[in-house]
């Protein structure tokens, strides 16, 4: 019994001494925090995704306060966070809310495989070893590197073999865009209207495109011919739209024989 009591007394004394020392050293080595950093950090979303290029929201807050990053550097927070940070910093800041869009529709039933792949099951590995697994060299490989890096659980490879974006969760951080070795994920402003080409096949041989993918761009130029605004042009094998002119008339979408084109406002929407 005496041993137990002695142990308790020693433990309490040690706890008191350690608590005193912790408090003492905290006061001695206390570093004043810049209130601007604290205020900026308070309005950042706290995702710590690193999409801004800084080590988490703490790093970004310090960089903004020091003038090393713009007030709208947080892509995840979008316009509302940019406005709040701008108010703290005494500057006017605007930011577009963006989401990720996959520029490929090559599901397994639309685009076949070159052969059976037995290597490391990542898109980067398949790209490096055999230039992708699909017949279309530009198509989605489908091993989900984008899904792995997404900190918001907003993109998942479905049964068709290509990733699907959940626009209710996507913040437009851009990590999946940077990770994709095929470069077929892009960020699009949520307020954009007009047509977009959901294909990245740049092969100029029509017969080969048809053989490789049932939903690939065959470079027929119909989109160019039917556009009343002349705002779409096939560039480097892919239709490119001038969004400053496009009025979402949908003529190119209706006349595309392989259904490559779609209206952004109908594609980028919450699921």
Tokens representing 34 are 């810049």
Whole-number Å distance between alpha carbons of 265 and 258:
20
Under the banding of pLDDT at 50, 70 and 90, the label for residue 270 is: low
Same fold: 35-89 with 98-267? no
CATH of 98-267, one of 3.40.50.740, 3.40.50.150, 3.40.140.10, 3.30.70.20: 3.30.70.20
In this prediction, residues 149-176 reach a mean pLDDT of 94
pLDDT tens per residue, range 197-211: 999 999 989 999 999
Q: What pLDDT shows up at residue 263?
A: 96
Under the banding of pLDDT at 50, 70 and 90, the label for residue 31 is: low
CATH of 35-89, one of 1.10.15.40, 1.10.238.10, 3.40.50.1980, 3.10.20.880: 1.10.15.40
Q: What pLDDT shows up at residue 220?
A: 94
**Domain residue ranges of the chain, discontinuous segments joined by +:** 1-30, 35-89, 98-267
Any idea of the CA torsion for 121, 123, 125, 131, to the nearest 10 degrees? 120
In this prediction, residues 179-185 reach a mean pLDDT of 97
Tokens representing 156 are 């998942």
Phi, psi at 253, each rounded to 5°? -65, -45
Beta-carbon neighbour count of residue 257 at 10 Å? Answer: 10
Residues whose CB is less than 8 angstroms from the CB of residue 177 and which lie 6 or more positions away in sequence, other chains included:
100, 185, 186, 187
pLDDT tens per residue, range 90-132: 988 887 889 999 999 999 999 999 988 999 999 999 999 999 9
């Amino acid at each position: 019994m005496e041993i137990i009591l002695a142990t308790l007394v020693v433990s309490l004394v040690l706890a008191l001494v350690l608590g005193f020392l912790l408090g003492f050293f905290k006061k001695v080595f206390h570093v004043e925090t810049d209130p601007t950093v604290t205020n900026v950090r308070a309005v950042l979303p706290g995702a710590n995704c690193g999409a801004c290029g800084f080590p988490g929201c703490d790093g970004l807050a310090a960089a903004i306060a020091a003038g090393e990053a713009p007030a709208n550097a947080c892509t995840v927070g979008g316009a509302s966070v940019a406005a709040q940070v701008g108010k703290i910093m005494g500057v006017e800041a605007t930011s577009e809310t963006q989401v990720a869009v996959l520029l490929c529709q090559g599901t397994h039933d639309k685009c076949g495989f070159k052969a059976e792949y037995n290597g490391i099951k990542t898109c980067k590995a398949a790209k490096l070893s055999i230039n992708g697994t699909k017949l279309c060299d530009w198509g989605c490989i489908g091993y989900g590197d984008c899904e792995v890096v997404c900190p918001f659980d907003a993109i998942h490879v479905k049964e068709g073999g290509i990733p699907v974006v959940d626009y209710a969760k996507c913040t437009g951080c851009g990590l999946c865009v940077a990770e994709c070795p095929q470069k077929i994920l892009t960020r699009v402003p949520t307020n954009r209207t007009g047509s977009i080409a959901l294909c990245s096949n740049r092969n100029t041989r029509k017969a080969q495109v048809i053989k490789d993918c049932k939903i690939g761009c065959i470079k027929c130029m119909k989109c160019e011919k039917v556009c009343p605004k002349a705002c779409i042009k096939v560039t480097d094998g892919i239709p490119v739209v001038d969004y400053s002119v496009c009025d979402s008339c949908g003529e190119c979408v209706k006349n595309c024989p392989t259904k490559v084109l779609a209206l952004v406002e109908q594609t980028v929407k919450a699921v």
